[in-house]
């Protein structure tokens, strides 16, 4: 179509990604074991839970996880595990935003692309606590209603689009080559 032709457009309302953001975070948490630690034997993070909601031009992710520190005490003669639940709040700015959304109601999808992970666990200077350095990373998407314009062909078809007659019929030759035992036993498990 040349630019001089009168082009007819339709406006379509659809749900689309109207905002995206990503944030990498590091945090240090202080764990207080019941005994004065001699050495750190291991540290792991479990039970990560989070929710996300849009607030203005950011998405706020609030979550929690359990930090487990395996340590020795009593001059490395005994061991114990200290467990502590910690909470966090990450504000993730939306680097991609569509200002043409039709309403403020949006669905927020947050994914932890890097689950909380221990970088380092060390005994604090005073010797009774353990400092745990943790990293995490989130990607967020906001999905909202927006309007898109689509050019409409007045003829209803595209002239240069190859239209072929596709058939779902199986020929006798193809039918004979089918293996009747191909899926046998798969559904009996």
Residue 153 confidence (pLDDT): 75
Residue 158 within a domain: no
Residue 184 within a domain: no
Residue 81 confidence (pLDDT): 97
Residue 18 structure tokens: 């109207």
pLDDT above 50: residue 174: yes
In this predicted model, what pLDDT tens digit does every residue of 65-98 receive, in sequence order? Answer: 999 999 999 999 999 999 999 999 999 999 888 7
Residue 46 within a domain: yes
Domains in the chain: how many in total? 1
In this predicted model, what pLDDT tens digit does every residue of 12-63 receive, in sequence order? Answer: 888 989 899 999 999 999 999 999 999 999 999 999 999 999 998 899 999 9
Rounded to the nearest integer, the mean pLDDT of the chain is: 86
pLDDT above 60: residue 186: no
DSSP string, 13-67: EEEEEEEEEEEEEEEEEEE--SS-EEEEEEEEEEEEEEEEEEETTEEEEEEEEEE
pLDDT band at 187 (very low <50, low <70, confident <90, very high): very low
Residue 82 within a domain: yes
Give the domain extent around 111.
Answer: 9-150
Neighbours of 57 (CB within 10 A): 12
In angstroms, rounded to a whole number, what is the distance separating the alpha carbons of residues 115 and 137?
7
């Amino acid at each position: 179509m040349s630019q001089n032709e009168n082009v007819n457009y339709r406006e379509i309302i659809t749900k689309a990604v109207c905002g995206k953001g990503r944030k990498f975070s590091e945090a240090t948490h202080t764990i207080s074991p019941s005994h004065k630690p001699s050495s750190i034997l291991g540290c792991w993070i479990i039970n990560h839970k989070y929710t996300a909601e849009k607030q203005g031009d950011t998405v706020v992710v609030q979550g929690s996880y359990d930090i487990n520190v395996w340590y020795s005490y009593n001059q490395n003669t005994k061991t114990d595990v200290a467990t502590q639940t910690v909470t966090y709040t990450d504000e993730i700015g939306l680097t991609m935003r569509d200002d043409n959304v039709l309403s403020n109601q949006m669905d927020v999808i947050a994914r932890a692309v890097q689950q909380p992970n221990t970088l380092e666990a060390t005994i604090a200077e005073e010797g009774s606590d353990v400092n745990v350095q943790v990293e995490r990373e989130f990607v967020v998407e906001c999905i909202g209603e927006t309007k898109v314009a689509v050019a409409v062909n007045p003829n209803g078809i595209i002239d240069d689009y190859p239209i072929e007659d596709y058939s779902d019929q199986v020929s006798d030759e193809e039918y004979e080559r089918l293996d009747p035992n191909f899926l046998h036993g798969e559904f009996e498990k």
